[in-house]
Chain A
Amino acid sequence: KAGVTQTPRYLIKTRGQQVTLSCSPISGHRSVSWYQQTPGQGLQFLFEYFSETQRNKGNFPGRFSGRQFSNSRSEMNVSTLELGDSALYLCASSLSRDRGPDTQYFGPGTRLTVL
């Protein structure tokens, strides 16, 4: 079974621009979560989508948004980019069972550089 895929893998933008990142989950997985990883803050949770609805949200400004499509694919958008948004953005998918924890499987990430 194919793993989580993320596109693009690398991206360079300038301050003030916006960016859209894409994530395709493992087939059959219904939940998609996004994380940001920076050297200073480590790995931080952005948000989780399930059945096209945001189910959980981390402590990030409104410039960070996302959505999920009916096929479970997800996109995240960052508007008005700042230098501090330079990071590795990771997507993780899971089955999202009704009981018990669901194991999240990560994609390779998108490396965003803001100049």
Chain B
Amino acid sequence: DAKTTQPPSMDCAEGRAANLPCNHSTISGNEYVYWYRQIHSQGPQYIIHGLKNNETNEMASLIITEDRKSSTLILPHATLRDTAVYYCIVRVPEKGTSYGKLTFGQGTILTVHP
């Protein structure tokens, strides 16, 4: 499976953009980048995903480099409620199934402060 590397923690001021990096240098052409977040003791929440192109939805933007070896999740105006663990996951296709399981790493603890 393509592995991901994320910084263990980051801080962000409320109202500013939070830019969370993820390195996935061994990613293959048909593997997707997914982002989830988990607020303390709750179930992980889906944020966004992409393959090659940059993506944006109501929660965040995902910027994927041209070589696909890294990506950045952008929360444009962070609030205190965005404090959570953010997981960058590479989805790998599995023979005979869809894209199978999610393999979670340690993620990045994002702390948004006033």
Chain A residues in contact with chain B, CB under 8 A?
Answer: 4, 31, 33, 35, 42-45, 48, 50, 55-56, 58, 88, 90, 92, 94, 96-98, 100-109, 111
Contacts and interface: CB of A to CB of B under 8 A. Distances in A.
A49 B106 CA distance: 25
A29 B87 CA distance: 23
B101 interface: yes
Q: Which of A43, A45, A96, A109 has the most CB of B within 10 A?
A: A43
A43 B44 contact: yes
Given A55-B97, A56-B97, A104 B102 contact: yes
B101 A109 contact: no
Q: Report the contact-size class of chain B (Cβ under 8 Å from the partner).
A: 20 to 34
B114 interface: no
Given A48-B100, A88-B41, A106-B36, 14 more contacts: A42-B104, A43-B87, A43-B102, A44-B104, A45-B101, A48-B101, A58-B101, A97-B98, A100-B98, A101-B32, A101-B93, A102-B98, A106-B46, A109-B42
A45 B43 contact: no
A97 B104 CA distance: 22
5 contacts: A33-B102, A35-B104, A42-B104, A102-B99, A109-B43
Contact of A106 (B32, B43, B93): B43
A102 B91 CA distance: 10
B49 interface: yes
Interface string B91-111: 101100111111111100000
B102 A45 contact: yes
Contacts of B103: 45
A88 B102 CA distance: 16
A56 B100 contact: yes
Nearest to B107: A42
B106 A106 contact: no
Nearest to A106: B43
A103 B36 CA distance: 10
